[in-house]
Each structure stands twice: as structure tokens, then as C-alpha cells.
Amino acid sequence: MERNDTQKTLATWFNFKFRLLIGGIVVGLLSGSVVVLFRFVLEESLERVLEFYHYQLRHMWIVPLWFVILVIVGWVTGMTVKKQPAISGSGIPQVKAVLQNKLNMNWWKALTAKFLGGAISIGSGLSLGREGPSIQIGALTAQGFSRLMSKSKTEENILITCGASAGLAAAFNAPIAGVIFALEEIHLNFSPLILIASLASSLVADFVSKEFFGMSPVFHFMNVGPVPLNQYVHLLILGIIVGIMGVVFNKSIYAFQDFYLKMTWLPAPYRPILPFVMSGALGLSMPLLLGGGNGLVNDLITDSFSLKFLLVILILKFLFTMFSYGSSAPGGIFLPMLVIGALIGVMYSKFINGLWGMPVLSESSFLILAMAGYLTASLKAPITGIILITEMTGNFTNLLSTGVVCLVAYMTAELFRSHPVYEVLLERFLHQRKASGETEQSSSKVILEVPILQGSRLDGTQIKDFQWPAHCLIVSVKRGSDEKIPDGQMLLLAGDYLNILTSDRHAAYVHDCLKEPAGQSTDWIQGIPNEKT
């Protein structure tokens, strides 16, 4: 039986390439449609909630009843997360765990729970974004399609990547950023096969999104010109500022997660009640802080806020985001990060303009630059930061200046030894699962694709000279457009892609053992994990 499973996996690997493009298109249509529905529910829910807060200000007797409802909704959200732990937070670490064969989810239960939980949390006004849930919803939809069509585990992983890229594309009308994020942050390599499939999926999802929501970008900025070259010194300063603030954001996320975990006197299902009650207080006093905040970003350009008021908004938005995400309520951190970055950019330009007594710096330009830099510092994904903000604003005039800010922000985060936020959140999620005794066992076969990077230990090494981990077999080596059947004498080179056959049970162990030799960064991991048998 196991031999037949291996033969089927190998046969599928050598034949499935012709079906991958079609699969990507179908996944883009399915995932894009589900995410568009999710986005519509969020926007309608939040709009109705904001209208209800205005109504409460005229009928104060409703306020106590509303807070009782928020407590109940917070408890329901907590119970949903308790029953389906994989839907907590943004969902991006969970998608990464699935692709690394460290997590197995019931796609239908997780999909429905994430959809409803995310709609309740974000639609009620918690400071959470739609991008993380959209990525997980897209990935789960793709996984469901794969399971229903009886795809191999290897093809399923690629379709999950396609679903993730489609989810981001539909959430933000950003198809190229969806592809780049899926490859740079989730799949962790730029395999040509996965690139083409993800691109097809992302473009189809973006078409579905634009058909429903229109052609306008998420953020509407008018008359944004290029930053003059004589102002580039400000880009360096801004990059350092958002780089430091991005590090602070990451460390605060972990600190607030620990804060909730230390609340042993409060059972986990009751913890989301705290941010829900906070949303009620802010809804009555400062409703512009509710939700992800894309409306607030547009308001920063159209309305004139004082520097002191912006500082208050920044502090409150930051703390509200920490309390919301730390509670494990379903929702992402992309949009709140962008809002915080936008606030920093506007505050910096207002401060400089105030010093000179004239509008020296463009507030809209520095708002855009700070968003990209802040996102880069937190995610450690500069290409995603540049492309995503460019697509979300529909402005391509500041690519050079955006690149400068993102580079400086990235290097600043490097100097502080900050690690990518989703990598750390993944490790924390897996650690909690291990502590609670949640594991999955499987014996199906899977093919891992491992890229060899320039200067790595495998670069320039013969296959026979490297001690490969147990329970794996190199079935082919892709070099350029050729796919070679390897032997022990074959010299591995940078740019090669190793296709390695292993069992689903050992895939995570094999993947982790080969990360460092292949040149993938592991400086944030304390040692190579031990094999679990």
C-alpha cells in the first residue's frame, strides 16, 4: 500500500504541472469569491455598527444594553476560538504551519469558524485587519477544493499558496502584492511553477474583487507627486523612525500575548471580552479608531488634524490593536500596521513643516512612505511592502523613495535583531500547541521543494558528500528549465530546486533540517528541532 502511495505521488509530481495553471485559475475564482463575500460582510457590519453608535449618543439608555451585548459577543468569539484554535489571530502563521506540514486543519470547520469569527470581531469594531483572515480563508478554500478533487499532498500545498495569494489580492485589490507575499512570506521561495500558478490565482481573484467593489484602489490619494531629491535626507530619517517603531510593534504583540496568557484567573474564552468592551468605549468617544482603519488613513489626507491630536490617535490605536490581537480574536494586523505607519508619516511631515513654517514636505507622500516602511520593518519583507502600498494607493510615482524608506527600515530592524513577526507568531503558536499536547500523525507521501541559495552549504556540494536527514529521498533536481534525475556524483549549485520525497509525518523535520544548509535564515531558531517519531 505504501509503495503504491509513493508511486502515485511521483507520477503526480511529473504530470501535474500541466494542471497547475488551471488549478490556480479555479482557486482564484473560488477563493476570490469567498473573500469578496467576507470583505462585503465586514464593511457592511462595521458601517451599521458605526451608525448604531451615533444612534446611541442620542438615546443613551441603550448604552448599558449594548455593553451587555458586547460582553456576550466577546464570550461567543472566545468560545469559537477555543473550539477551533487554528482560527485565532490573523491566520497567516497557521497557513505557514500547514505548508510546513506542522498543522492539519479540518478545512470546512476552520473556514466557517474563521469567516464568522472574523466577521464578528472586525465587524464589531476591534482594531484588526481583514487581510490575515482573507489569506487564511483563501487558503482554506483552496484546501477544500484540493480535498474534494482528491489532489496529492504536494499539489494541495501549492494550491493553498495560490489561495493565500488570491485572498490578499481580493482583500486589498493588490494582485501582484498577493503573489509576492505568498512567495516571500508564506511559501518562502520563488519557484517558477508556484509563481505562475499563484499569479493566475491572484489575477482572477483581483478581477472578481474589482467586479464587485469597483476599480478604485483601497486608499484614495489625489495629486501625489514624487519626493524631490533634495528631501531624500528626510527619507533616511523616516526610515529609521518607522524601523524602530516596527520593532516596538513586534515586541508589543508578543508582550500582550504573554499578558493575556498570564491572566490565569480569566479563562481563555472570556479574554476577548476586554477588547470588545474597549471597542464600545471608543465607539462612543472616538469612533474613527474602530475597525482596521482604512477610513482613518483617507481621513488623514482630507481632514486637518493637529499634531497633538494625531499623537493621541497614534497611542490609542496602538494600544487598542495590542489588546485586540493579544486576545486571540480572529483578525489581522496588516491594516492596523498601515494606519500606525500612516500616522507616523503624517506626524513627521507636520513636525518638519511646523519647524519651517511652511509646507516643505508632502503629507500624503510621507504617509505612503511611512506605511511601506513600517510594514517592511515588522514583516521583514521589503518587496511586499513596496508593491503592496503601491497597489493599494494606485500611485507609482514614488517607487524610488518607497524603496529607500523600506531599505532603511529593514536595516534598522536588522540592527535591533528583530525577527519577522509572522515567523515568531508561528513558533509561538506551535509551542502552545505542543504544550497542550495537540499533534497530528499521518503517513501520506509529500514532495518538498527546497531551493539552494548562493553561498549556502549545499551550494557546490556533491550529493554523496552531504549527510541528508533520515526519511527523505531526492527524486529530482530542477536546474533552469531542465529537471534532472540525481545520483551521488551530482554537484548541487545555487539556483537548483531539490524535489525531496518524504512522508507527511516526517516532512516538518526534513524541512527544518534542510533550511540552514540550503541557505534559508534560521538565526531566530534555537537549534535544529529533534525528530518526532
* pLDDT tens profile 214-256: 888 877 777 777 888 888 899 999 999 999 999 999 999 999 9
Q: Of 23-37, 64-78, 208-222, 269-283, give the lowest mean pLDDT range.
A: 208-222
Question: What letter would DSSP give residue 462?
Answer: B
Q: Which secondary structure element, helix H or strand E, spans residue 497, and what is its range?
A: strand 497-503
2-213 and 229-425: same fold? yes
Q: What letter represents residue 127's amino acid?
A: S
Torsional sign, CA 65, 68, 74, 77: negative
Q: How many CA atoms lie within 13 A of 29 on its CB side?
A: 6
Closest CA to 453 of 496, 423, 511: 496
Q: What letter represents residue 503's amino acid?
A: S
Mean pLDDT over 188-205 rounds to 85
pLDDT band at residue 3 using 50, 70 and 90 as cut-offs: low
Mean pLDDT across the chain, nearest whole number? 85
| Neighbour-count burial of 238, counting CB atoms closer than 10 A to its CB (0-12 exposed, 13-18 middle, 19+ buried) | buried
pLDDT in tens, 15-56: 667 788 888 999 999 999 999 999 999 989 999 998 899 888
Predicted TM-score of the model (pTM): 0.85
For residues 367 and 301, is the Cβ–Cβ distance under 8 A? yes
Q: Which set of grid coordinates corresponds to residue 180?
A: 509576492
Q: How many CA atoms lie within 13 A of 185 on its CB side?
A: 34
pLDDT of 112 strictly over 80: yes
For residues 170 and 31, is the Cβ–Cβ distance under 8 A? yes
Q: Which secondary structure element, helix H or strand E, spans residue 530, and what is its range?
A: none
pLDDT band at residue 58 using 50, 70 and 90 as cut-offs: confident
Q: Which set of grid coordinates corresponds to residue 340?
A: 500606525
Q: Which set of grid coordinates corresponds to residue 110?
A: 476552520
Query: Where do the domains of the chain lie?
Result: 2-213, 229-425, 441-518
Mean pLDDT over 158-185 rounds to 89
**CA angle, 181 as apex, 178 and 183 as ends, to 5°?**
110
pLDDT of 309 strictly over 50: yes
Distances (CA, A) of 198 to 144, 163, 190, 395: 17, 8, 11, 24
pLDDT of 529 strictly over 60: no
Distances (CA, A) of 309 to 14, 347, 463: 60, 10, 62
Mean pLDDT over 256-277 rounds to 90
Question: What letter would DSSP give residue 524?
Answer: T
Question: Distance (Å, rounded) from C-alpha 17 to C-alpha 19?
Answer: 5
Question: What letter would DSSP give residue 264?
Answer: T
pLDDT of 133 strictly over 90: yes
Q: How many CA atoms lie within 13 A of 123 on its CB side?
A: 18
Q: Check residue 372 and give its pLDDT.
A: 93
Pairing of strands 445-451, 497-503: antiparallel
Walk across the sheet containing 482-484 and list its strands: 445-451, 497-503, 472-479, 482-484
* CATH number of the domain located at residue range(s) 441-518 in this protein: 3.30.70.1450
Q: Check residue 265 and give its pLDDT.
A: 86
pLDDT band at residue 204 using 50, 70 and 90 as cut-offs: very high
Partners of 450 in the β-ladder:
498
What is residue 144's three-state secondary structure?
helix
Q: Check residue 439 and give its pLDDT.
A: 56
pLDDT of 341 strictly over 90: yes
Level-2 CATH architecture, domain 229-425: Orthogonal Bundle (1.10)
Q: Phi, psi at residue 438, to the nearest 5°?
A: -85, 115
pLDDT in tens, 310-322: 999 999 999 999 9
Q: Which runs of consecutive H residues, i.e. helices, occur in 380-448?
A: 382-393, 399-415, 421-435
Q: Check residue 189 and give its pLDDT.
A: 67
Closest CA to 336 of 67, 80, 166, 89: 89
Residues 6+ apart with CB under 8 A from 69: none
pLDDT in tens, 278-302: 999 999 999 889 988 888 888 887 7
Closest CA to 114 of 258, 321, 289, 328: 328
pLDDT in tens, 399-449: 899 999 999 999 999 999 989 898 899 888 888 777 665 555 555 677 777
**CA angle, 232 as apex, 227 and 234 as ends, to 5°?**
100
- Which position has the higher pLDDT, 231 or 530? 231
pLDDT of 386 strictly over 70: yes
Residue with cell 523616516: 238
The Cβ of residue 306 has, within 10 Å, a number of other Cβ atoms equal to 9
Closest CA to 166 of 95, 81, 88: 95
Q: Which residues of 158-170 are buried (b: 16+ CB within 10 A; e: fewer)?
A: bbbbbbbbbbbbb
Q: Which secondary structure element, helix H or strand E, spans residue 500, and what is its range?
A: strand 497-503
Level-2 CATH architecture, domain 2-213: Orthogonal Bundle (1.10)
The Cβ of residue 52 has, within 10 Å, a number of other Cβ atoms equal to 12
